[in-house]
């Protein structure tokens, strides 16, 4: 038998892209490809791209340029661009970078093997459809090979909220939930393969409304059902919109033991004026009240969020409101970004905030967020937490896992990958915790 051809995938952006990359690798597995971790020995290179901020797309173009020599040395090498830049730019990618053989969007990658076959005579292939058919139905059943203890599972995609800054409604399309039976089957299969923790993914995951006979299920109903799956020990979900945190989902945080005490709930800004301009459809006050209700259900929950500074029209006073909101919430972890104008979005038409002012605000916000993160991490010292071990650590004999609160935890001791153990936290470092087995 001929050696299998090798596929190198590089993934940018969000966790949904990580999930999609895994599914694309599996689909190409059916076409005789095995994955490799080095582009140099690949027969096909696929960049799974992100379009959320400007630099993301620029990084893709500079990365593509670096494959020039590889392609010259191996003319048969296929180069493909997938994901959200592919969706947004389409054929433009090949015009800007003629090395590229195929461009496939996030809703049509079930056609990837067939597209790859069509490139064999040097043809250029582009597919950025939003097809009628469901890619998840068309993708073959996932392989049964054993795998690591944590997995992502996309349950919902796309978005109908149209925040004024965001490309997602254009790159991922309208909001669609996968049917309940599809999700449950995939979750049970993952558990069979050794998975103990599943993170349910969606751009708006708490708006999940999966078809089920007798009526659609909400995310809370889905989580309660998944919690009954033997062998599945931890459930997480990301990312959520404040307006879709319904009562039952809040209650589930207090009632479902397997639902981990960590919630990513982006607010973007603490200024009502900016929130309105962003078309967020909530206020700073309604967000703070929501956090109070969530903390009432699960007092130890660790909150994370996303912030944008320098949104068009943002003043120093608006920014002060953001800082005040952060002080009020106390986040365990956060992502913060300078506003980046995205073509085709409503905010792209608006005048930009002075670049230096925006950089300065970002630095101040990040200093505050880092301080909070460190404080909350330091408060973990002395506490006992669950840790699911994911890999061997960098130091001999050390194992690394994630706590219930999603902190990276290093432990030296007799544990294996996939073990879920109680750990007493003894140290807090810049980005991780150290502990001892209980
Ligand atoms: N500019 C800067 N940050 C953005 N995000 C989304 N769109 C933009 C943009 N145009 C951030 C938001 C979102 C996260 C995934 O990325 O904070 O929650
Ligand atoms: Fe980036 Fe958004 Fe696409 Fe994820 S969905 S890859 S964050 S543009």
- For residue 84, how far is its CA from the centre of ligand 1 (angstroms)? 14
Identify whether the C-beta of residue 313 lies closer than 8 Å to the C-beta of residue 352: no
pLDDT, one tens digit per residue, over 170-195 is 999 999 999 999 999 999 999 999 99
Model confidence at 121, in pLDDT bands (50, 70, 90)? confident
pLDDT mean over 140-161: 92
- For residue 41, how far is its CA from the centre of ligand 2 (angstroms)? 28
- For residue 13, how far is its CA from the centre of ligand 2 (angstroms)? 6
Residues with CB under 6 A from ligand 1: 52-53, 165-166, 266, 268, 306, 308, 337, 339-340, 342
pTM of the predicted model, to two decimals?
0.96
Say if strands 384-392 and 398-403 run parallel, antiparallel, or are unpaired.
antiparallel
How much is the pLDDT for 122? 86
* Ligand 1 binding pocket mutation candidate from 85, 279, 306 (most atoms within 8 A of CB): 306
35 CB-side CA count, 13 A: 11
How much is the pLDDT for 153? 98
pLDDT, one tens digit per residue, over 403-436 is 999 999 999 999 999 999 999 999 999 899 999 9
Distance CA 94, CA 60 (A): 12
Please choose, from the candidates 304, 229, 300, the residue with its C-alpha nearest in 3D space to the C-alpha of residue 263: 304
Sign of CA dihedral 275, 303, 248, 200: positive
How much is the pLDDT for 144? 84
Round the average pLDDT of the chain to a whole number and report it: 96
Say if strands 333-338 and 302-309 run parallel, antiparallel, or are unpaired.
parallel
pLDDT, one tens digit per residue, over 309-362 is 999 999 999 999 999 999 999 999 999 999 999 999 999 999 999 999 999 999
For residue 334, say whether it is annotated as part of any ligand binding site. Answer: no
Please choose, from the candidates 69, 74, 67, the residue with its C-alpha nearest in 3D space to the C-alpha of residue 46: 67
User: Residue 370 has which token pair?
Assistant: 């880092």
Residue with tokens 């998944």: 226
3-class secondary structure per residue, 324-349: HHHHHHCCCEEEEEECCCCCCCHHHH
User: Residue 124 has which token pair?
Assistant: 């250029």
Residues with CB under 6 A from ligand 2: 13-14, 16-17, 50-52, 83-84, 167-168, 171-172, 203
pLDDT mean over 52-67: 89
Atom of ligand 2 nearest to the CA of 15: 4
Of the two residues 131 and 293, the one the predictor is more confident about is 293
Q: How many CB atoms lie within 10 A of CB 200?
A: 22
How much is the pLDDT for 145? 86
How much is the pLDDT for 171? 93
The distance of Cα 34 from the centroid of its chain, to the nearest Å, equals 24
Please choose, from the candidates 319, 299, 220, 302, the residue with its C-alpha nearest in 3D space to the C-alpha of residue 265: 302
- pLDDT of 208 > 90? The answer is yes
Distance CA 437, CA 3 (A): 44
Give the closest residue (by CA) to ligand 2 atom 1: 50
How much is the pLDDT for 169? 94
How much is the pLDDT for 120? 86
**What is the CA angle 169-173-176, rounded to 5?**
110
Distance CA 261, CA 295 (A): 10
- pLDDT of 1 > 60? The answer is no
How much is the pLDDT for 55? 80
- pLDDT of 136 > 80? The answer is yes
Question: Phi, psi at residue 304, to the nearest 5°?
Answer: -130, 165
pLDDT, one tens digit per residue, over 220-263 is 999 999 999 999 999 999 999 999 999 999 999 999 999 999 99
Residue with tokens 């919109």: 241
pLDDT-above-90 percentage for the chain:
92
pLDDT, one tens digit per residue, over 369-401 is 999 999 999 999 999 999 999 999 888 899 999
Identify whether the C-beta of residue 278 lies closer than 8 Å to the C-beta of residue 238: no
Atom of ligand 2 nearest to the CA of 14: 4
How much is the pLDDT for 140? 75
240 CB-side CA count, 13 A: 25
pLDDT mean over 138-154: 90
The distance of Cα 181 from the centroid of its chain, to the nearest Å, equals 23
């Amino acid at each position: 038998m001929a050696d299998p051809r090798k596929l190198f995938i590089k993934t940018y952006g969000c966790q949904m892209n990580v999930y999609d990359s895994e599914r694309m690798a599996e689909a190409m597995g059916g076409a005789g490809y095995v994955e490799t971790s080095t582009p140099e020995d690949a027969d096909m290179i696929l960049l799974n791209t992100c379009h959320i901020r400007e630099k993301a797309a620029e990084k893709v173009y500079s990365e593509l340029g670096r494959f020039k020599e590889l392609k010259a040395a191996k003319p048969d090498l296929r180069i493909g661009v997938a994901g959200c830049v592919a969706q947004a730019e389409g054929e433009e990618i090949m015009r800007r970078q003629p090395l590229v053989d195929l461009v496939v969007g996030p809703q049509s990658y079930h056609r990837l093997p067939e597209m790859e076959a069509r490139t064999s005579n040097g043809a250029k292939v582009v597919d950025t459809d939003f097809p009628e058919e469901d890619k998840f139905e068309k993708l073959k059943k996932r392989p049964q090979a054993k795998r690591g203890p944590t997995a992502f599972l996309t349950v919902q995609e796309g978005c109908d909220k149209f925040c004024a800054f965001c490309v997602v409604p254009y790159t991922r399309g309208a909001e669609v939930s996968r049917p309940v039976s599809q999700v449950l089957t995939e979750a049970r299969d993952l558990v069979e393969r050794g998975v103990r923790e599943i993170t349910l993914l969606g751009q708006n995951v708490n708006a999940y409304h999966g078809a089920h006979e007798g009526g659609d299920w909400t995310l809370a109903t889905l989580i309660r059902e998944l919690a009954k799956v033997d062998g599945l020990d931890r459930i997480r979900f990301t990312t959520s919109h404040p307006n879709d945190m319904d009562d039952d989902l809040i209650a589930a945080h207090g009632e479902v033991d397997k639902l981990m005490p960590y919630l990513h709930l982006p607010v973007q800004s603490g200024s009502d004026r900016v929130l309105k301009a962003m078309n967020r459809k909530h206020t700073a006050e309604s967000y703070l009240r929501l956090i109070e209700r969530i903390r009432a259900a699960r007092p130890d929950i660790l909150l994370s969020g996303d912030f944008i500074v320098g949104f068009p029209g943002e003043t120093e006073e608006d920014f002060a409101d953001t800082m005040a909101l952060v002080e009020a919430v106390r986040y365990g972890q956060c992502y913060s970004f300078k506003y980046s104008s995205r073509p085709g979005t409503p905010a792209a038409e608006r005048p930009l905030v002075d670049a230096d002012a925006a950089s300065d605000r970002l630095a101040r916000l990040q200093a505050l967020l880092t301080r909070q993160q460190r404080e909350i991490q330091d408060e973990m010292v002395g506490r006992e937490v669950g840790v699911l071990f994911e890999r061997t650590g960098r130091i001999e004999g050390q194992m690394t896992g994630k706590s219930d609160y999603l902190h990276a935890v290093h432990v030296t001791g007799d544990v294996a990958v996939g073990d879920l153990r109680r750990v007493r936290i003894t140290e807090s470092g810049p980005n991780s915790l150290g502990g001892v087995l209980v």
